[in-house]
């Protein structure tokens, strides 16, 4: 099955010129993009450049969205504004946003709203640390239950779940997650989804991995770990590294 590779540029790069260069470099190598689905998520101002430059081989995603649709919400960006820019995917619930106060209730509102606009939410879940008693499992289960509250069984297939253990994200300078740590969590997430919906529905939901993905661990996470895709932060900002990830999985 084709895999999904999401580039999360976070709050980088700092100038329009650099963003343009990065995007152009990316497009110039598009012959190597192979059959996988690549979604670039630039910062909001750089979405505009990307929209102008993008071709059919690349999809655009946003890193955040408002819970509201329009009106007096200073600093917010609505789903419709994003959709109008050619954005179909939106990362929600990233740990870096949860850290600044975004809670499950807010994430749930965003998800329900995005689905109304036929956009695909990429829901990030993941624990801060692992413990020997397995409390991290119930932590992730709670995140999934609360964030998906009210999402119908016909809509759940339009959501991608990204398991990103916070301790494995490169900027946290933590340890890399192992493939078996991902596999265990993938099974657990599927079980949670099966309890919330049913087995057949759970089977069709895509679960991707994020956290210090690089050209060495990309293939094992996908092949041995059974990830449906990857969410790449740091190494998506370096075109050489990003392409070597895509190369290893083509």
Residue 219, classed as helix, strand or coil, is helix
DSSP states along 41-64: E--HHHHHHHHHH--TTEEEEES-
Calculate ∠ Cα 59-219-245, nearest 5°: 50
Task: Of 236, 240, 225, 241, give the one whose Cα is nearest residue 5.
Answer: 236
Binds ligand PGA by CB under 6 A, chosen from 233, 242, 246, 249: 233
Q: Is 94 considered catalytic here? A: yes
Indicate which residue of 46, 94, 102, 181 is catalytic. Answer: 94
Beta-strand relationship, 87-92 and 58-62: parallel
d(CA 96, CA 2): 28
Strand partners, 75: none
> Using CB under 6 A as the criterion, what x/- string covers residues 193-212 for binding ligand PGA?
-----------------xxx
Residues in contact with ligand PGA, counted by CB under 6 A, come to a total of 13
Indicate which residue of 102, 127, 164, 181 is catalytic. Answer: 164
Return the residues of window 153-172 that contact ligand PGA according to CB under 6 A. Answer: 164, 169-171
> Using CB under 6 A as the criterion, what x/- string covers residues 120-159 for binding ligand PGA?
----------------------------------------
Question: Does position 213 bind ligand PGA by CB under 6 A?
Answer: yes
Question: Does position 34 bind ligand PGA by CB under 6 A?
Answer: no
Contact residues for ligand PGA (CB under 6 A)?
Answer: 8, 164, 169-171, 210-213, 231-234
């Amino acid at each position: 099955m084709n895999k999904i590779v999401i580039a999360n540029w976070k709050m980088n790069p700092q100038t329009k010129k650099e963003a343009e260069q990065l995007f152009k470099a990316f497009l110039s190598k598009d012959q190597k993009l192979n059959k996988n689905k690549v979604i670039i998520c630039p910062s909001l101002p750089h979405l505009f450049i990307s929209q102008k430059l993008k071709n059919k081989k690349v999809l655009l995603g946003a890193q955040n969205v408002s819970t509201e649709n329009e009106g007096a919400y200073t600093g917010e960006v609505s789903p419709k504004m994003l959709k109008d820019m050619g954005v179909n995917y939106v990362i929600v619930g990233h740990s870096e946003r949860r850290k600044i106060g975004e809670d499950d209730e807010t994430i749930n509102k965003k998800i329900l709203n995005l689905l109304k606009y036929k956009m695909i939410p990429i829901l990030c879940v993941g624990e801060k640390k692992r413990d020997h008693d397995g409390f991290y499992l119930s932590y992730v289960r709670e995140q999934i239950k609360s964030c998906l509250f009210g999402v119908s069984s016909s809509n759940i297939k339009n959501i991608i779940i990204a398991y990103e253990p916070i301790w494995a994200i490169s900027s946290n300078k933590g340890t890399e997650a192992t493939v078996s740590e991902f596999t265990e969590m993938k099974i657990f997430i599927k079980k949670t989804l099966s309890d919330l919906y049913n087995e057949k529905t759970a089977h069709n939901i895509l679960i991707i991995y994020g956290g210090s993905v690089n050209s060495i661990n990309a293939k094992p996470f996908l092949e041995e770990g059974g990830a449906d895709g990857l969410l790449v932060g740091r190494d998506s900002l370096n075109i050489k590294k990003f392409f070597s990830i895509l190369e290893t999985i083509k």
